[in-house]
Structure 1
Amino acid sequence: MRCIRLAALLAIAALPAAAQTLTIGLATPPTALDPHYHAHAQSSATAAHVFETLHAPNAAMQLEPELATAAETTDGITWTVRLREGVRWHDGTPFTADDVAFSLHRAGNVPNSPGSFGTYTREVRQVEIIGPHELRITTAAPAPLLMANLSNIFIVSRRHGEGASTDDYNSGRAMVGTGPYRFARWSAGTEAHYTRNDTYWRGREPWERVAFRVIPNNSARTAALLAGDVDVIADIPSADVARVRGDRRLQVFTIASNRLVFLGFDRTDEALATGHIRANDGAPALTRNPLGDVRVRRALSLAIDRRALVDRINEGQAIATGQFLPEGFFGHFADIPVERTDPDAARRLLAEAGYPNGFRLTITTSNDRIVNSARMIQAVAQMWTRIGVATAVETMPHAVFTPRRNRYELPVFLSSWGNQTGEALYTLVPQLGTRGQGGLGNANRIRYSNPALDRLLVAAGAEVAAPRRLALIREATDLALAEAVMLPLLLQVNNWGARQGITMTPRIDQYTLAMSIRPAD
Structure 2
Amino acid sequence: MRDNSSYWSRRYPGTRLGRRAFLGSSVGLGVGAAALGLVGCGDDDDDDDEPAAPATEAATEAPTEAPTEAPAADAPQQGGSYIWEGDGIRFVPAVVDPHLAGSGGVRLWLFAGNIAVRRNFDGSELTPELFSAWETVDGVDHIVTIRPGVKTHDGALTGGRLFNTEDVAVNLERIAGLLAPDGDASAYWMANLLQGLVSAEAVDDSKVTVTFSSPLAFPWGLTLPYATLMPVENFESGGLQNAQPDTISGTGPWALSEYKTDESFTADRHPDYWDGAPYMDNVIWRPTGDRVSQSASFIQGNGTFFNNPSKVERETILDAREGSQLFHWAGSTCAYTIFNCRPGATFEDKRLRRAMHLATNYVANQEAFWGKGFFHLGGVLNNAHAEGISQEELLTMPGWRVDKTEDLKTANDLIAAAGFPEGEGLSFEGRATGAVPSPTPPRWARPGPRPPPARATRT
Is this a same-fold pair by TM over 0.5?
yes
What's the CA shift for 1:229? Answer: 1.2
Following superposition, the deviation at residue 253 of structure 1 comes to 0.7
> What's the counterpart of residue 218 of structure 1?
291
Look up the SS of the partner of 1:131 in the other structure. coil
What is the 5 A alignment of 1:98-137?
A: 98-109=166-177, 116-137=189-210
Distance 1:385 1:316 in 2: 27
CA distance in 2, matches of 1:142, 1:203: 36
Instruction: Return the alpha-carbon distance in structure 1 between the equivalents of residues 209 and 185 of structure 2.
Output: 29
1:113 shift after superposition: 7.9
Q: Which amino acid aligns with 2:383?
A: E
1:185 to 2:258 alignment: yes
Does 2:300 align with 1:227? yes
Q: Assess if the C-alpha contact under 8 Å between 1:77 and 1:141 holds in 2.
A: yes
Provide closer, same or farther for how the CA distance between residues 330 and 230 of structure 1 changes in structure 2, counting only shifts above 3 A.
same
Structure 1 position 48, deviation (Å): 2.0
Note closer, same or farther for the CA distance 1:415–1:233 as it changes in structure 2 (3 Å cut). Answer: closer
Corresponding position: 1:326 with 2:382: yes
Query: In the comparison of the two structures, how many residue pairs are matched?
Result: 353
Matched residue type, 2:108: T
Contact 2:146 2:207 in 1 (8 A): yes
The alignment status of 1:53 with 2:115, answered yes or no, reads yes
Tell whether 2:80 aligns with 1:20. yes
**Match of residue 222 from structure 2:** 150
Residues 1:35 and 2:103 aligned together: no
**In the alignment, which residue of structure 1 is the partner of 2:44?**
none
Describe the SS at the equivalent of 1:308: helix
The answer to whether the 8 A contact 2:378-2:389 is kept is: no
Instruction: Report the equivalent of 2:415.
Output: 350
Instruction: Say which SS state the counterpart of residue 257 (structure 1) adopts.
Output: coil
Letter in 2 for 1:147: P
1:316-366 CA deviation, whole Å, 9 max, x = no partner? 365353621232415413455362443332222122122333332111122
* 1:239-388 matched pairs, under 5 angstroms: 239-246=312-319, 247-269=321-343, 288-316=344-372, 318-319=374-375, 321=377, 323-329=379-385, 331-334=387-390, 335-336=393-394, 337=397, 339-340=399-400, 341=404, 342-356=407-421, 357-367=424-434, 381=441, 383-387=443-447
Matched residue type, 2:333:
R
Change (3 A) 1:25 1:115: farther
Q: 1:290 to 1:366 in 2, by over 3 A?
A: closer
Deviation for aligned residue 1:185: 2.2
Distance 1:89 1:242 in 2: 43
Note the C-alpha offset of 1:92: 1.9
State the AA in 2 paired with 1:34.
Answer: D
Matches within 5 A, 1:59-74: 63-74=126-137
Cα distance in 2, alignment partners of residues 331 and 194 from structure 1 = 38
Q: 1:292 to 1:378 in 2, by over 3 A?
A: closer
Equivalent position amino acid for 1:386 in 2: R
Query: Counterpart of 2:303 in 1: which secondary structure?
Result: coil
Tell me which residue corresponds to 1:6: none
Any conservation in 1 of the 2:117–2:219 contact (CA below 8 Å)? yes
Deviates more, 1:322-331 or 1:132-141: 322-331
Match for 2:115: what amino acid? T
The answer to whether the 8 A contact 2:346-2:428 is kept is: no
Aligned equivalent of 2:147, options 84, 87, 109: 84
Q: Structure with the greater relative contact order (CA < 8 A, sep ≥ 6): 1 or 2?
A: 2
State the Cα distance separating 1:51 from its structure 2 match: 1.2
Match of 1:208 in 2: 281
Q: Which residue of 2 aligns with 1:176?
A: 249
How big is each residue's C-alpha offset from its partner over 1:346-392, in whole Å with a ceiling of 9 and x where there is no partner?
22212212233333211112258xxxxx9xx999956523349xx99
Q: Which stretch shows the higher mean deviation, 25-34 or 128-137?
A: 25-34
Change (3 A) 1:223 1:60: farther
DSSP 3-state at the match of 1:49: helix
Instruction: For 1:195, give the aligned amino acid.
Output: D
Give the letter for the 1:235 counterpart.
Answer: N
Counterpart position of 2:35: none
CA 1:386–1:188 in 2, change beyond 3 Å: closer, same or farther?
A: farther
Give the superposition deviation at 1:231.
2.3
Alpha carbons 2:356, 2:411 under 8 Å: kept: yes
- Please give the per-residue CA displacement for 1:4-30, whole angstroms capped at 9, x wherever unaligned: xxxxxxxxxxxx953422222234625
Structure 1: tracts of 5 or more residues without a match: 1-15, 270-287, 369-373, 396-412, 417-521
The residue identity in structure 1 corresponding to 2:428 is L
C-alpha distance in structure 2 between counterparts of 1:359 and 1:36, whole Å: 42
Higher helix share: 1
- Residue 159 of structure 1: how far off its partner (Å): 2.4
Is the deviation greater in 87-96 or in 234-243?
Answer: 234-243
Would you say the 8 A contact 1:26–1:235 is kept in 2?
no
Work out the CA distance in 1 between the residues paired with 2:187 and 2:443: 32
Whether the 8 Å CA contact 2:115–2:223 is kept in 1: the answer is: yes
Are the equivalent residues in 2 in contact too, given 1:304–1:383 (CA < 8 A)? no
Specify which of 161, 169, 190 is matched with residue 93 of structure 1: 161
Question: Residue 23 of structure 1 contacts residue 210 of structure 1 at CA under 8 Å; is this kept in 2?
Answer: yes
Q: Note the 1:403-442 alignment, pairs <5 A.
A: 414=457, 416=459
Q: Deviations over 1:431-476 (max 9, x none)?
A: xxxxxxxxxxxxxxxxxxxxxxxxxxxxxxxxxxxxxxxxxxxxxx
Using the TM superposition, name which of 82-91 and 175-184 deviates more.
82-91
> Percent identity over the alignment?
20
Give the secondary-structure state (helix, strand or coil) at the position aligned to 1:332.
coil
Displacement after TM superposition at 1:294 (Å): 1.0
Higher gyration radius (CA): 2
Compared with structure 1, are the counterparts of its residues 387 and 233 closer, same or farther at alpha carbon in structure 2 (3 Å cutoff)? closer
Q: Does the Cα contact within 8 Å between 1:241 and 1:252 map onto a contact in 2?
A: no
Q: Counterparts of 1:383 and 1:114 in 2: how far apart (Å)? A: 41
Change (3 A) 1:339 1:114: farther
Q: Provide the rounded CA distance (Å) in 2 between the counterparts of 1:385 and 1:297.
A: 12
State the 1:306 CA deviation: 0.9
CA shift in 2, pair 1:103/1:141, >3 Å: same
- RMSD over aligned CA atoms reads 3.5
SS of 1:194 mapped into structure 2: strand
Task: Work out whether residues 310 and 317 of structure 1, in 8 Å CA contact, stay in contact via their aligned partners in 2.
Answer: no
* Partners of 1:380 and 1:59 in 2: CA distance: 40
